[in-house]
Structure 1
Amino acid sequence: MANSAHEKASSVTEDPEVMGEREIGQDDHGQTNQDRVDMSRMGKVQELRRNYRPLSALAFTVILQGVWEVLLTATYQGLVDGGSAGLIWSFVWTWTGMTTVIFSLAEMASMAPTAGGQYHWVSEFAPPSIQKPLSYFTGWMSTLSWQAGTASGPFLVGTLIQASAVVMYPDSYEPMAWQGTLMVIAVTILVWALNIWGAKGMPLLQNIMLGVHVLGFIAIVAVFWALSPRESARVTFLEFRNDGGWSTTGLSLMVGQISAIYACICSDSSAHMAEEIQDAGKTVPRAMVGAYLMNGVIGLVFIISYMFAVTDVPAALEDITGYPHMWVFGQAVSSGGVAALNTIPIVLIFAGTLTFNLSTSRQTWAFARDNGLPFSSWIAKVDKKLQVPVNSVTLTCVITILLSLINIGSDVAFNAIISLNVVSLMITYVCSIGSVLYRRVRHPELLPPCRWSLGRWGVAINAGGLLYSLHAFFWCFWPEGTPVTLESFNWASVMFVGVSALSLVDYVLRGRRHYSGPVVLVEGYKAQ
């Protein structure tokens, strides 16, 4: 099977000097000649349509990452462990540290622009003796991360709608967990339909949402500065809180940085769309870095503006909706205005859910294509008419719905699953960046050529990215506060170990016989 795939990929390769780098074949799914060269080198067959161009690839990544939307709706733990000052400064150091991670991932995406992302890079760059089990583990962790993260979008949309209902009808509406779950299911079904039958229109939609992303940011920041009461600069920037009961404020800050980390991850989303992006070897890394820098600047302005408007942290944390930003909105506008403002993040998070599902289904599809998952042959099927991995999209939506059902019985268990998004994603960063750093130091001559290179700064940036990923991975396991109870315990640690054990069992029983690692299809592998 591997040799057959390599032969098919090689058959579409043309000489770049003859064809020209930007020429597109009529029957090649929108590929440029350089895309053909890259796919052939990796031994992959082009099955998906390359609908995305530079602007839509940038928009896709910006909307999925959605930094200011996350900072608005998912900073509860940061306010508990650090307060306003803690959130601002943890965002600064997190964004700075993650920059080395993003740059490292962007270069690998240029070297090997494939939907597989991290597990493929590990397979290609890790020591040959461990590439197979390490890439298999990375593939499982990447699948776990993206599947868990995909469930967070519909959950936020559903609970934000409930929060608006609470504000509008405080005396008659009581939010129930099962209602939120029904909204998650409804959102997921809509996402499923749009991502299967509306795939061709997604680039245009992402471009539109990029405009909404910027305009929504301007509108909410304007409300904070024009209508909200403001805290003093001294309190906003210098007064740290330790409401989690930790022994020191410094430890509290380390625990609370999870809010900033959650806001800064997922720039690698466009890497998993690489086989649908035209001229991916150049466009994908530019989209990753451009989106990260753009969202970072917007995020810094937003978090400072937001924290100036949080004049009473305990009151914001105790808001009846469960969302501190709803309390902040309520200090500036009427209940109707609060609901109207809350519509902005609802719309944008829904758009982010669409893109998250796309990226997740492509990563899952790619891993199945390399026989990394049970029932891989079914998951890896692509609808030839739609040029969409329908089975993978469907599986991703089914998993989201199944995870949402847990919320009916225990929101603690559901939140633990969501936190796996950060933990498992960080370990994929560790494995992939560690692998390329090894290759760069030990065998730099074997690194494939790329059009977005770190050059002489490669070792330093890779080392920084590896160290920061390890730092973030460690702190993601800590609970919100002390004393630790069954409800406050961070169950992500238990679930991470459980899934790691499951991947080991699957590797022993199935994977070691059926999974070779994508590197075996790469040109020059045997020579290396």
Structure 2
Amino acid sequence: MAETHQDKKTGEVVGPSGPNVETLHAVESFEVGTLEESSGDAIDDAMLRAQGYKAAMPRVFSILSSIGLCFSITNSWVGALSNFGQGLRYGGPQVVIFSLIVATFVQWIITLGQYHFVYILAAPKYKRISAFVTGWMSVLAWWIMTCSGLSLCAISATGLAAFMYPSYEPTSWQIWLVYVGMAIFSVIPLFIFPKFLTKLATGSLYLTIIGFAVWFIVLLAMKKESNPGSLMTESGLGSSGWSSGTAWMLGISNAMYCYGGTDAAIHIAEEMHSPGRQIPQAMNLTMLIGFVTCVPIMVVFMFVMKDMDKIMNAGFPAAELLYEATGNRPVTIFLTVWLILIYISCLPPQFVECGRIGWAFARDNGLPFSNYFAHIDEKLAFPVRTTLASVVFTAIYGLLYLASSTAFNSIITSAVLFLNITLALPQAILVIRGRNTHLPRRYVNLGWVGYFCNIFSPLWIIVLTALVCMPPSIPVEVGTMNYTSPILVGLFAIVIGSWFIYGHQFEGPKIDWEMLNATHELAGEGTSKKDKQ
């Protein structure tokens, strides 16, 4: 049955999006309408109303532009280029390649959704606090992960300058200035070209796919020598001090960074056509493109690598390996500039996500001053205030880099863990409460595979939490200490404190199950009929 309540002013019994009679009439109008009327954005808007919301932004994302936005954020192969040096420390080429393959399927299983799912699935007694905590973890994870993207741009740009001018040594404050400059530069297109967001996302996808092809071909064509195939499976090459089994597990947790943000499609659901169908497609294709780009490029990297120790300790390992393989400075500089441009092109989509997820949480009164932040600019048609709030947050957070780059990177690691916790939490609830009785009708039904994913995900997150908190090498020194454990406790304490301060105002989505199931059924019928034509 749909949730209802009595309006205090009128005494009228209403549902989550207004009088029940209106929502039922809306459904009835779709049932008797034409196929064109019942298979377009009208049904999508009805689904949104069934969750207690009204459409606030235009539906402009096609499946291609959705994939463009999602993959430009995840961008697995450039993510692998940024952290493969740590994989080499854990166990050499064997860990770099095979942990990446394992991480692909682990992340593929885990990827789902966040606080809306928790609110819908959790028991009534716990749904508000569990959804509130999950929502805050999701917001913090996305905002801090964007800091990671900014730091990659800043470190790569200054690292390229150091490569071109060996006498130059970038300082922390110079890196921070580049970091802030990148943040400001990244949001400018969102304000100047708001109607071209989908084209920017698609353009970013083309830039990174072409960039992958160029890097791949150049490395194969210009390599001076190749390592034997036996090096790819040789064990004991790590220098972290950990045993081979522990190093392997740490390598998997390190490789999962390459698949951060795979849930991006969920946060633009209200701007997509047929989101019930396109979101799973976008998420799965993002993972597929990530796999077929990052694994081959890493295999090539390991074959053309010469001096593993030098690459592990380089400020910009990807550029160092490229120069070793080709021996050509102009080519190295050109491809490194291309890589930095890809990093930069990933930033506007990340701020798009930061603004959307902050706005959605504010709409449910999850943020301080929610009435202010739950605002869509009528002219620009996107949440300007939460987008700017995320920019300010990243700039302030970047100041931590001036004090301690180790602490800065530890918090980013915490963000990756936070994001995966938010993905696994609703799945754990499903295992406890049952998939068949607590999931609505939907376009994609995984059946028994869904149970496997729901059981595996929370179990893996328990393991991942332990791995993320372990130091990257032993014996542990002040400079190599992992600050993730106290940071996790601190961030979680802030979230819990926020609940006691203003959590009473948090609402969560109000689901009209009758209308939601009816619109899902109509959407399915519309899709099947369209496929037959």
1:79–1:509 distance in 2 versus 1, CA, 3 Å: same
Question: What per-residue deviation string (whole Å, max 9, x for no partner) do you get for residues 128-174 of structure 1?
Answer: 22111111111111111101101111111111111111111113x22
Code of the aligned partner of 1:404: G
1:327 aligns with 2:338: no
Contact 1:21 1:34 in 2 (8 A): no
SS in 2 for 1:382: coil
Match of 1:108 in 2: none
Amino acid at match of 1:134: S
- Secondary structure of the 2:477 match is coil
Is 1:273 aligned to residue 284 of structure 2?
Answer: no
Alignment deviations for residues 460-514 of structure 1 (CA, whole Å, 9 cap, x no partner): 2322233333333331222111122332122122111111111111112210x21
Superimposed CA distance per residue, residues 97-121 of structure 1 (whole angstroms, 9 cap, x where no aligned partner): 222223xx1xxxxxxxxxxx50000
1:69 aligns with 2:78: yes
- 1:142 corresponds, among 138, 141, 153, to 138
Alpha-carbon distance in 2 for matches of 1:347, 1:267? 21
1:254 pairs, out of 232, 249, 266, with 249
Q: Is 1:184 the counterpart of 2:179 in the alignment?
A: yes
Distance in 2, matches of 1:20 and 1:406, equals 58
Report the Cα distance in structure 1 between the residues aligned to 2:417 and 2:76, rounded to whole angstroms.
Answer: 18
RMSD value, Cα: 2.3
SS of alignment partner, residue 75 of structure 1: helix
Alignment correspondent of 1:109: none
Q: Does 1:366 align with 2:357?
A: no
- Per-residue CA deviation, residues 75-94 of structure 1 (Å, 9 max, x unaligned), is 23212112211011111111
- Distance between the aligned counterparts of 1:311 and 1:241, measured in 2? 14
TM-score (norm 1): 0.89
Q: Which residue of 2 aligns with 1:110?
A: none
1:162–1:460 distance in 2 versus 1, CA, 3 Å: same
Structure 2 contact 30–37 (Cα < 8 Å) conserved:
no
What is the CA distance between 1:431 and its match in structure 2? Answer: 0.9
In 2, distance between residues paired with 1:352 and 1:58?
Answer: 13
Report sequence identity in percent: 26
Partners of 1:148 and 1:338 in 2: CA distance: 30
Q: Is the 8 A contact 1:122 1:436 kept in 2?
A: no
Contact 2:363-2:374 within 8 A present in 1 as well:
yes
Aligned match of 1:81: 90
1:188 deviates by 0.8
Taking structure 1 as reference, are residues 273 and 240 closer, same or farther at Cα in structure 2, changes over 3 Å only? farther
Q: Is the aligned partner of 1:285 residue 2:280?
A: yes
Report the equivalent of 1:38: 47
TM-score by length of 2: 0.88
Partner of 2:18: 7
User: In 2, are the aligned partners of 1:122 and 1:435 still within 8 Å (CA)?
Assistant: yes
* Counterpart position of 1:16: 30
CA distance in 1, matches of 2:299, 2:26: 51
Structure 2 CA distance, aligned partners of 1:337 and 1:134?
Answer: 52
Write the mapping of 1:73-472 to structure 2, written as runs, cut at 5 A.
73-102=82-111, 105=112, 117-171=113-167, 173-228=168-223, 229-246=225-242, 248-319=243-314, 322-331=315-324, 332-441=326-435, 444-472=436-464
Q: 1:268-318 deviations in whole A, cap 9, x for unaligned? A: 011111111122111111100111112112222122111212222111112
Residue 516 in structure 1 maps to residue 530 in structure 2: no
Q: In 2, are the aligned partners of 1:42 and 1:522 still within 8 Å (CA)?
A: yes
Residues 427, 469 of structure 1: 8 Å contact kept: yes
CA contact (8 A) 1:122 1:431 kept: yes
> How far has the Cα of 1:209 moved from its partner?
2.1
Distance 1:199 1:493, change over 3 A: farther
| Distance in 2 separating the partners of 1:58 and 1:18 | 34
Judge conservation of contact 1:84–1:307 (CA < 8 Å) in 2. yes
Deviation at 1:221, TM superposition (A): 1.2
Hey, what does 1:114 align to over in structure 2? none
Q: In 2, distance between residues paired with 1:197 and 1:435?
A: 43
Work out the CA distance in 2 between the residues paired with 1:382 and 1:34. Answer: 22
SS in 2 for 1:241: coil
- Residue 87 of structure 2 contacts residue 254 of structure 2 at CA under 8 Å; is this kept in 1? yes
Give the Cα–Cα distance (whole angstroms) in 2 for the partners of residues 20 and 380 of structure 1: 35
Q: Which runs of 5+ in 1 are unaligned?
A: 26-30, 106-116
Q: Equivalents in 1 of 2:19, 2:84: separation in Å? A: 49
Q: Does the Cα contact within 8 Å between 2:66 and 2:282 map onto a contact in 1?
A: yes
In structure 2, the residue corresponding to 1:43 is in which secondary structure?
A: coil
Q: Structure 2: which amino acid aligns with 1:517?
A: G
Partners of 1:420 and 1:88 lie apart in 2 by 24
Corresponding residue SS for 1:81? helix
- Which runs of no fewer than 5 residues in structure 2 stay unpaired? 8-13, 516-533
The answer to whether the Cα contact below 8 Å between 2:45 and 2:54 also exists between their aligned partners in 1 is no
